[in-house]
Structure 1
Amino acid sequence: MPELNKHIRERRRPQEYISTDNSENNEMFGLDNQIREHQENLDGNDEIKIRNLKKILDNIVTYRRVANILETSPAFKSHSHISEELRYFSDRLLDASLNLNNLYYKGIRLFTTFDEVIITMMNRILLDSSFKRDDKKYLYDKITYLKIEFQNFQPLFKPTNSSMNLVERHRNKLEASLFNGLRDAEKFVLKNDFGYPSVNVLDSINGREDVRSVKKVLSHLNDTAFYLYKLKQMLMIYEEYLFEVSIKLSSIGIDRDGIFEPSRQDLKYLQNSVEHLKSAHYNFIRKFFHFF
């Protein structure tokens, strides 16, 4: 899907100059510091991190640009609150993006850790089929380490899910406000066509451009509704696999008598559950950044 900002005509007013350079736009809208602080807290390749967020930041800048235009638009004079709603929606979209980016890179680190530790444990079992006390302690310590790593990762899901719910809720509210404002703006433009003396010709021309900008935003919001529905379905699957890994970790190597006696098969079951979670993780994150 084409990026939203490519469709919005930039209208420059003397009192409201809007730069065409996105780095300047980001600085103007106060995004740079938020992004920089967020990225510094993540592991991974800086170029990849910036690339993942670039398109979504472009869209956020565009929403804020349209908010600035509508704030002083005669065509939307009675609907100036839409500007605040656009800014609020763009803020929620930014929050969701940062939460997702955090989940994504912390997830990469978690899965790398799980892969390495599980393979190490499986090799240890292969080397020594008759468990000694130090073998059990070694495996117990490794599994305890995995449990701690997983418990540190699990809480990241809740704010991500909550931020997605907020994006959906405010998308619906913003869409309704834009439709209401659009109806009045189109009436304003038509007044000039019918020669109403109270309507300035220049205001009418600018009003047409504002109407086009709002229609493009509405089109993007309409597509967003479909993708949010798909993403929420994927989040449900993600949550199920989180629970599955949690169950496997809590019971791994424990026999019916409550004795810790891990087997290669136990580790294989855990490995399969982690692979399911890993697949859900990458599919969800890629879907989000692909659209937004």
Structure 2
Amino acid sequence: MLILAATPIGNLGDASRRLVETLEAATIIAAEDTRTTQRLLAGLGITNRPRLIALHDHNEKQRAAEIVDLAAEQDVLVLSDAGMPTVSDPGFGLVAEAAARGVTVTALPGPSAVLTALAVAGLPTDRFTFEGFPGRKQGERRSAFTALAREPRTMVFFEAPSRIAATLADMAGVFGADRPAAVCRELTKMYEEVKRGGLAELADWAEGGVRGECVIVVGGASNARPPLAEAVAQVLELVAAGGRMKDACTEVAAATGHPSRELYQAALAAKSDAKPKSDAKPK
């Protein structure tokens, strides 16, 4: 069978007894990074030296069939660098291949950055959605956030420390400056930190530089629409930043629930009213 095993996301003390026993008995491990797996075995004091097969984003399609062939005959342990394989990590293609061929798949539950961040963020946990890593480019991020702007569930994102300030700023621009959120940094590690506040406040904080692995948790949208004047101000802000009026209205409409046509007409009227009136008399 295939055995998906959750590994510590930072603190080795979170390794379960079942994980340690499985690692000690494993003969084949498909690992996201074999060097990380070797450090894990050493850190847990495991002397077993199983066969290690690299399984990562760049080779999963090519190696899935081979690994499932092995799993049809013996147990194959699957590890990502931290947390549960397949969750924003390699493994999904492998599991799909095994399921299609009738090979048993099971899991050793354990540490999860998604659930740990959700638990400590101080935001609603009864319903949530995991959105993985936002796009690297601003346009990709804003488009994704626009599609989620009226999502009522708490949202969980992963982000690299080098992009977190820009991502929080984009979130503030689409979700609203005061939308409650939390940045959970270095979870389970020595310098663990949870920073809570509105998105704009968190974006300002992140401008000073953020280190370590981060999870962003964002509160869901309320059902109430913001006032039309506030939505129009968002449109004009996007236009002032170089966006097209039509595109800005579409983005803000998705985020606020106000009809795009209504926003377009109101924004045109606001721009017209803002133009300075000439005192010159016609000759």
TM range (shorter): under 0.3
- Report which of the two has the higher share of helix: 1
TM-score, structure 2 normalization: 0.24
- Report which of the two has the higher share of strand: 2
Higher relative contact order (CA 8 A, sep 6+): 1
Q: Which has the larger Rg?
A: 1
